[in-house]
Amino acid sequence: MSRLFALVLGLALTVALLFLTIPVVALFLRVPPADLASQLADERALEALGVSLRTSVAAHVLILLVGTPAAYLLATRSFRGRSLVLVALELPLVLPPAVAGLGLFAAFGRSGLLGSELRALGLEIPFTELAVVLAICFVASPFYVRGAIAAFESVDPQLLSAARTLGAGPARVFARVALPLAAGGLGAGSTLAFARGLGEFGATIMFAGNLPGRTQTAPLAIYDALDEDFEVALALGALLVAVSLAILLTTKLLTTWTRSAQTSGFPSAASRSS
C-alpha cells in the first residue's frame, strides 16, 4: 500500500519534471550555441533586445524607488484599512495581463480617465516606450512589494527602536538599519519582479502595441518572428531562458544568504504577506 503510494508520488514528480523541462531543452536543441550569436545579430532581434533592456531597467528603477518606501510603511505601521491596501497592491498578480493592458488604456489612453489631463501636459502615452515601462511597472511591481514588505517585517522592531534612542531620526533609521537588514529579501523580490517585467507580453501588446524599434520588446519580437523567421524566434527564446535561469539562481542565492531559506527560491513573501 505504502509502496504503491510512493510510486504514485514518484510518477507525479517525473511527469511534472518532464513536462516543464522538455520545452526548454527542445529550445536549446534547436539552436546550436554557435548559431545563437549570428541569429541574435539580426537587426530586429537587436532592436527588440534594446527596447526590452531600456524599458525593463527604467521600470525596475521606478519600482524600487516607489515600492521600497511604500513597503516599509506597510511593514512598520498598522493602520485602519491596511489589509485593503495590501489586496489592492497585489491585485495585478491575479489580473489577466490583457485586462491589465486594457485597464491602462482606459486610464491613460487618449480618451481615457486621465486622457485630457495628460494631453494638457503634452503627454501621449499609448504606443510609446513609456507605455511599455508603465505596463511592466503595473504587472511586475507586486512581486517586489510583496517581497519587500516581508523583508522589512522580518527586521526586529527593537533594532529600529534602539536606533531611535541613539539619536537617529526616522530617515536615518531606515537607511542605516532597516534597509541593510532587509537587503537580502529586497534583492530576492527585486530579481523576481525584474524577471516578470522582462517577460511581459499581454499588457504591453494591448497598451503599447508591437511597433518594431519603439515598443517591440523581446517577447513581442518572438511572437512576430514565429511566422517570419523561426530561427530568430528560437534564438531570442534561448537567450530569455538563459537570463531567466540566471535570475532564478540569483534569487535562490539571495534567499539562502538572508538565512530565510525556504523550500523554494521564492522569497519569504510567499509565506509572510497576505
Partner 1 sequence: MDTLRADIRLPLRRFALELALEVGAETVALVGPSGAGKSSALRAIAGLARAEGTVVLGAERWLDTAAGLAVPPERRSVGLVFQDYALFPHLSVRANVAFGGHGRVDELLERFRIGHLAAARPGTLSGGERQRVALARALARDPRVLLLDEPLAALDAHTKATVRAELGELLDELRLPTVLVTHEFEDAAALAARVGVLVDGRVRQVGRPEDLVAAPADPFVASFTGANLLPGTARSSAGGLTEVALDGGGTVFSADPGSGRVGLAVHPWEISVGREQPDDSAVNHVTAPVRSLVVVGNRVRVRVGPLAAEVTAASVERLELAVGDVVVATFKATAARLVPLGR
Residues that bind partner 1 (CB under 8 A): 156, 158-159, 161-169, 176-177, 180-181
C-alpha to C-alpha distances, 111 to 100, 119, 120, 127, 263, nearest whole angstrom: 17, 10, 13, 14, 47
- Tell me whether residue 114 or residue 168 sits nearer to partner 1 (CB atom): 168
- Tell me whether residue 153 or residue 200 sits nearer to partner 1 (CB atom): 153
> In the bound complex, what is the minimum distance in angstroms from residue 76's beta carbon to partner 1?
13
> In the bound complex, what is the minimum distance in angstroms from residue 160's beta carbon to partner 1?
9
> In the bound complex, what is the minimum distance in angstroms from residue 266's beta carbon to partner 1?
24
- Tell me whether residue 152 or residue 201 sits nearer to partner 1 (CB atom): 152
Cell of 201: 507580453
- Tell me whether residue 117 or residue 156 sits nearer to partner 1 (CB atom): 156
> In the bound complex, what is the minimum distance in angstroms from residue 123's beta carbon to partner 1?
40
> In the bound complex, what is the minimum distance in angstroms from residue 220's beta carbon to partner 1?
42
Cell of 229: 523567421
DSSP character string of 121-187: TT---TTSHHHHHHHHHHHHHHHHHHHHHHHHHTS-HHHHHHHHHTT--HHHHIIIIIHHHHHHHHH
All residues at 6 or more sequence positions from 100 whose CB lies less than 8 Å from its CB, including other chains: 92, 135, 138, 139, 202, 203, 206
- Tell me whether residue 122 or residue 167 sits nearer to partner 1 (CB atom): 167
